[in-house]
């Protein structure tokens, strides 16, 4: 039996009165891809913030490769191998796009994994950008990041994650704000990342595309995990459809 790469148990987090995450547990094996869905405000981003250390849980435990990372500083978690993207993609506005990538590429983790070839960093950055769909020969990688259209920003977010060569990639609503063709160009990349053995956690509202990539799915509502399993099984459950279609909420399973 394969050890889970990440194991989350009984995670809780409240902001004032709102229980943003309420007793959530799950585990993932290396190379698995998990989708997290749920209506707006159901606590998807909070769950990601908890895993990546940006928010400290009130209760519960997160084990990553057997290491207890609960409440650890976010930069340490990154250096262990969990990279995340942000829902609101804010680039480093005053830097050109490829310079935006220099920061993750020359980060402690990336330097350790890639070796210290400092001179090649620019090249590596351009290469990464190409991988996420920036045309190499265009001017785009040299433009100021503040001027990028939304779809590009999202892909820059993705590139920032990949630059860290993480074991787990967490993507918060990567597809939102991307055009159909942009999504179409990113999906094969994500599939390849999965094939390389990386573990993926994706928060998404775009279900059709999500289901092409992921192996299993978790549905959150009001901070609670209301369903877990294979995508097509889960989507037919009553509770899930009612959460999405907005009928009365049943409490307790």
Partner 1 sequence: MRTNLSHRKERIDRGIKVRSDDIFVLASMRDLLYVILPKAIVILAMLILPLLKDVVGMYWLNVLVTTLVVILLALSWDLLASAGLVSLGQAFFFGVGSYIAGYLSFKFGWSPLFTIPTATLVGSIICALFLYPVLRLRGIYFGLITFALPLLLARLIEATKVLGGTEGMSALPPIPGMTGKLYLLMFVVLLTLFGFRRLISSNYGLVFQGIRDNDRAVIAAGYNIQWYKTQAVFIAALPATFAGAFVAHHFQFVGVPAFAMDYSILPLTAVVVGGAGTFIGGALGAVILMPLSEILREFGSLRVVIYSLLLLLFSIGLPEGLFKYVKRKYSQIERLTTMEEVKHD
Partner 2 sequence: MVTNFLIYGLVNSAILMLSAIGFSLTFGLSGVANFAHGAMYLTAGFIAWMLINYLGLSPLVAMLLTVVLMGILGALIYRIILMPVRGIVLSEVISTFALGVALIEFFRWKGFTSFDFSLPPFVKGSIEIFGVTIDYQRLIIIGIALIIALFLWYFTHYTNTGLALRGMAQDEYTALSIGIESDWAAMLSLGLGAALASVAAVAILPLGIISINLGYEIFLIALAVSVLGGLESTLGLFVGSLILGYAMVIASTYLGPQWGQVVYLGAIVIVLAIKPSGLFGKYKELEERV
- Return the residue of 45, 89, 96, 100 that touches partner 2, per CB under 8 A: 45
**Among all chains, which residue has been given the structure tokens 């265009």?**
138
Comparison of 9 and 176: residue with beta carbon closer to Mg ion: 176
How many C-beta atoms surround the C-beta of residue 245 within 10 A? 8
164 contacts: CB under 8 Å, gap ≥ 6: 78, 83, 104, 107, 109, 110
**For residues 202 and 214, what is the distance between their CA atoms, to the nearest angstrom?**
8
**Among all chains, which residue has been given the structure tokens 């787990």?**
168
Could you give the string, one character per residue 70-89, with x where binding to partner 2 holds by CB under 8 A and - elsewhere? ----------------xx--
- 64 strand-pairing partners: 6, 67
User: 3-class DSSP state for residue 239?
Assistant: helix
Please identify, among the stretches 15-23, 73-81, 111-119, 131-139, the one whose residues bind ligand ATP according to the rule CB under 6 A: 15-23
Using rule CB under 8 A, residue 92 touches partner 2: no
Using rule CB under 6 A, residue 57 touches ligand ATP: no
Please identify, among the stretches 27-35, 52-60, 121-129, 181-189, the one whose residues bind partner 2 according to the rule CB under 8 A: 52-60
Comparison of 30 and 39: residue with beta carbon closer to ligand ATP: 39
The interface with ligand ATP within residues 82-111 (CB under 6 A) comprises 87
214: left (phi over 0), alpha (psi -120 to 50) or beta: beta
Q: Rounded to a whole number, what is the largest CA-CA distance in the chain? A: 59
**For residues 63 and 52, what is the distance between their CA atoms, to the nearest angstrom?**
12
Shortest Cβ distance from residue 220 to partner 2 (Å)? 16
What are 118's two structure tokens? 């400092």
Please identify, among the stretches 39-47, 160-168, 198-206, 208-216, the one whose residues bind partner 1 according to the rule CB under 8 A: 160-168
Comparison of 151 and 223: residue with beta carbon closer to ligand ATP: 223
SS (H, E, C) 100-139: HHHHHHCCHHHHHHHCCCHHHHHHHHHHHHHHCCCCCCCC
Backbone phi, psi, residue 116, to 5°: -90, 45
Please identify, among the stretches 3-11, 25-33, 50-58, 232-240, the one whose residues bind partner 2 according to the rule CB under 8 A: 50-58
Contact status, residue 99 vs residue 143, Cβ threshold 8 Å: no
Using rule CB under 6 A, residue 20 touches ligand ATP: yes
Shortest Cβ distance from residue 49 to partner 2 (Å)? 5
Shortest Cβ distance from residue 203 to partner 2 (Å)? 12
What are 87's two structure tokens? 């829902």
Using rule CB under 6 A, residue 46 touches ligand ATP: yes
Using rule CB under 8 A, residue 46 touches partner 1: no
List contacts with partner 1 (CB under 8 A).
Answer: 52, 54, 73-75, 78-79, 83-86, 90-95, 99, 102-104, 106-110, 118, 121, 160, 163-164
Site residues, partner 2 (CB under 8 A): 45, 49, 54-56, 86-87
């Amino acid at each position: 039996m394969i050890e889970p790469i990440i194991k989350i148990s009984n995670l809780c987090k409240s902001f004032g009165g709102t229980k943003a995450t309420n007793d959530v547990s799950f585990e993932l094996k290396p190379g698995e891809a998990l989708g997290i869905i749920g209506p707006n405000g159901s606590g998807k981003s909070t769950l990601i913030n908890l895993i990546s250390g940006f928010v400290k849980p009130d209760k519960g435990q997160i084990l990553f490769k057997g290491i207890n990372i609960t409440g650890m500083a976010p930069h340490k978690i990154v250096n262990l191998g969990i990279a995340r993207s942000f829902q609101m993609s804010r680039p480093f506005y005053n830097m050109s796009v490829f310079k935006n990538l220099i920061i993750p590429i020359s980060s402690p983790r990336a330097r350790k994994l890639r070796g210290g070839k400092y001179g090649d960093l620019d090249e590596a950055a351009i290469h990464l950008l190409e991988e996420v769909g920036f045309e190499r020969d265009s001017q785009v990688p040299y433009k100021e990041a503040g001027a990028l259209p939304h779809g590009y920003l999202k892909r820059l977010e993705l590139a920032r994650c990949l630059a860290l060569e993480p074991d787990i990639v967490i993507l918060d609503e990567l597809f939102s704000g991307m055009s159909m063709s942009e999504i179409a160009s990113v999906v094969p990349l994500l599939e390849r990342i999965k094939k390389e053995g990386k573990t993926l956690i994706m928060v998404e509202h775009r279900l059709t595309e999500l289901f092409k990539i992921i192996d299993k799915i978790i549905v959150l509502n009001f901070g609670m995990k209301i369903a877990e399993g294979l995508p097509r099984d889960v989507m037919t459950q009553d509770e899930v459809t009612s959460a999405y279609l907005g009928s009365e909420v049943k409490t307790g399973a």
